[in-house]
Amino acid sequence: MSQYQQDLDTFATLRAAQNGTWNGINPEYAARMKAQNRFKTGLDIARYTAAIMRKDMQEYDQDSSQYTQSLGCWHGFVGQQKMLSVKKHQGTTSKSYLYLSGWMVAALRSEFGPLPDQSMHEKTSVPALIEELYTFLRQADARELGDLFKQLDNAKANGGDVAAIQEKIDNYETHIVPIIADIDAGFGNEEATYLLAKKMIEAGACCIQIENQVSDAKQCGHQDGKVTVPHEDFLAKINAVRYAFLELGVDDGVIVARTDSLGAGLTQKIPVSQQPGDLAAQYNAFLDTTPVNSVADLDEGDLVLKQDGQLVKPVRLPNGLFKFKPNTGFDRVVLDCITSLQHGADLLWIETEKPHVRQIGDMVDAIREVVPNAKLVYNNSPSFNWTLNFRQQVFDAWQEAGKDVSGYDRDSLMSAEYDGSELAAEADQKIKSFQADAAREAGIFHHLITLPTYHTAALSTDNLAKGYFGEDGMLAYVKGVQRREIREGLACVKHQAMAGSDLGDTHKEYFSGEQALKASGKDNTMNQFDV
C-alpha cells in the first residue's frame, strides 16, 4: 500500500471516530495536502538531503562519471525555476543540487545594499535564504502534485487510466535537493560558527562549506589580500559545525573544507608549537623569515622564532600581518586538505586562479597519497575568463606539440576575430568536457558555478531593456520572452498559477465546497495560454 493510500485510510478512520463533527473533512483531500507537504521542517529536509549526498559520494567513489552539479541561486524563485528546468530536461533531479553563494548573499540580499564578498552582510541572511529556497521548492512539489490530483479526478470522472496517474503520484520525485551552503569563514569565532551553523541546518542545510580565511579579514576567493588561519583555528570551526549537525540529529551532515592557501600569501597569527613537527610547526615552516645572528639583527618589537635549531624572525608587514614564503601555495593547500580530512571534513574545496584540470589534479594526487578517497567540490567560477584561459591552454599545447601557431596572438586570443578559428573550436570542446574531465582526472565530485544567475539576470534584463526602450517596443518582451516561454514549454508563462493561485483555488474548494470564490474561472486571462 502506498503512503498516499495509507494516509487516506488513516484520515478516514480518524474522521469516523469524531461522531460526525468532522464530516466536513474529506479524507482524500487531507491525504493530498499531506502529500503536497512531505517535508514538515527544515531538519526533515536536512536529514533527507544528507542521505542523498552520502549516497552520491559513494557512487562517485565507484564511478567518477557520477559527479554532481549545481548552480548558485540568490532567490527562492530562481532556485525553483532551476529545479523545474532540470527535472523537465533531464527527467530527474538526481545528481543536481543547489548552491548558496555567500558572494550573492552579500551582493543581493543584504539590508545594507550591494556589498563586497567580505562577510559584512547580516549572518541571518544565509539561513533565511536557505529557508526561502526550500519554501519555493516545496511549492513546486505542491503545484505539480496538484496537477496530478486534477488529472486523477478527471480520470475517475471520465473513465481514464486511474492506475497510471495514481502510480505517478505514488512515485513522485520531489524537487527537494541538497543545498551546499556557504558559511564563509564562520562569521566570528568557533562559537559564532556553531550558532550560525545551527540556524543553517534548522533551515534545511545538509552541507556546510567553510573556508580557512580569517573571519574579520575575509576576501572573495578571487581577490587579493587573503589571510589564512592556522590549522588549529580552522579545525575548531570544523568541529563546531559537526557538533551542530550532531546536536540537531543530522548525523550524516556533510562538511566542505575550503582552502584559499593557493592565492593567500599572508597569515594574521603565528600558532604556538607544542612539540617539533606538530601542526603549528608545519604551518610556521612556511613563514617567510630572515636569520637572527645577534640582537643587532632585530628592530624594536620584532618577533623571534626558533626553527630547526636556528633563530629567525618572520617577515611582518606594517599592518602586522606575516608573509609566507613565495611559491609555497601548492604545499600549503595539500597540507590544509589532508589535515581537514583527517579531522572531520568530508569534502574539499580548493580555490584556484584558473580552471586547469592538471593543476587541480596535481594537488589532488598529492592529497590522495595520504587520503585515497579525497574528493572536491569545485567552483567553476564566473571570475575566470573561460574563453581566454582555454584558448591559451590550447595555444600552449599546440606550441609544445610543434604545431604552427603563427596565426594567433596568445595575448589577444579573447578577440572576436578568433571566434570561428580551429583553435577556438578546440578550446570550446575542452570547456564543454571540463566537468567530466576534471571529475575523472582531478577528483572533482561536485561542480558548481557560484553566481551564474547573477549574470543571467543582468544579461536577460539588458536584452529586454535594450529592445523595449528602443525600436522594438512591446515586441521585445513578446518575442524575446513570452513567445519563447510558450514555445519552450515554461510553466512560468502562467505566472498566476506559478505563484500559487491554482493551489489556493483547490484549497478554497476543500474548505468551502461550492461556495468557494475561485480565481481560475473563465475570465482568468491565464486561460489564453491553454493553446
Task: Based on the residue annotation, tell me whether 220 is a catalytic residue of this protein.
Answer: yes
Q: Which of 491, 471, 376, 517 is nearest to 139 (CA)?
A: 491
> Which set of grid coordinates corresponds to residue 92?
530527474
DSSP assignments along 438-504, one per residue: HHHHS-EEEEEESSHHHHHHHHHHHHHHHHHTTTTTHHHHIIIIIHHHHHTT-GGGSHHHHTTHHHH
- The alpha carbon dihedral of 75, 81, 85, 86 has a sign of positive
> Which set of grid coordinates corresponds to residue 236?
575548531
The H or E element spanning position 210 is: strand 207-211
Q: What percent of the chain is helix, strand and coil (3-state, nearest 5)?
A: 50, 10, 35
Q: Cβ distance 345 to 255 under 8 Å?
A: yes
Q: Cβ distance 287 to 267 under 8 Å?
A: yes
Scanning the structure block, which residue is given the C-alpha cell 499531506? 34
> Among residues 73, 206, 220, 337, which one is catalytic?
220
To the nearest 10 degrees (0 to 180), the angle between helices 422-432 and 386-400 is: 110
- Decide: helix, strand or coil at residue 329: helix
Cα 143–Cα 149–Cα 154 angle in degrees, nearest 5: 130
Produce one character per residue of 193-227: b if its CB has 16 or more CB atoms within 10 Å, e if not: bbbbbbbbbbbbbbbbbbbbbbbebbbbbbeeebb
> How many CA atoms, within 13 angstroms, populate the side-chain half-sphere of residue 210?
34
To the nearest 10 degrees (0 to 180), the angle between helices 422-432 and 434-441 is: 60
CA 250 to chain centre: 19
Q: Which of 454, 479, 492, 358 is nearest to 99 (CA)?
A: 454
Task: Write the DSSP symbol of residue 296.
Answer: G
Distance CA 136, CA 123 (A): 21
Q: Which of 301, 282, 298 is nearest to 290 (CA)?
A: 298
**521 burial via Cβ count (<10 Å: 0-12, 13-18, 19+):** exposed
Strand-pairing partners, residue 210, are 257
- Decide: helix, strand or coil at residue 91: coil
> What residues are annotated to the active site?
220
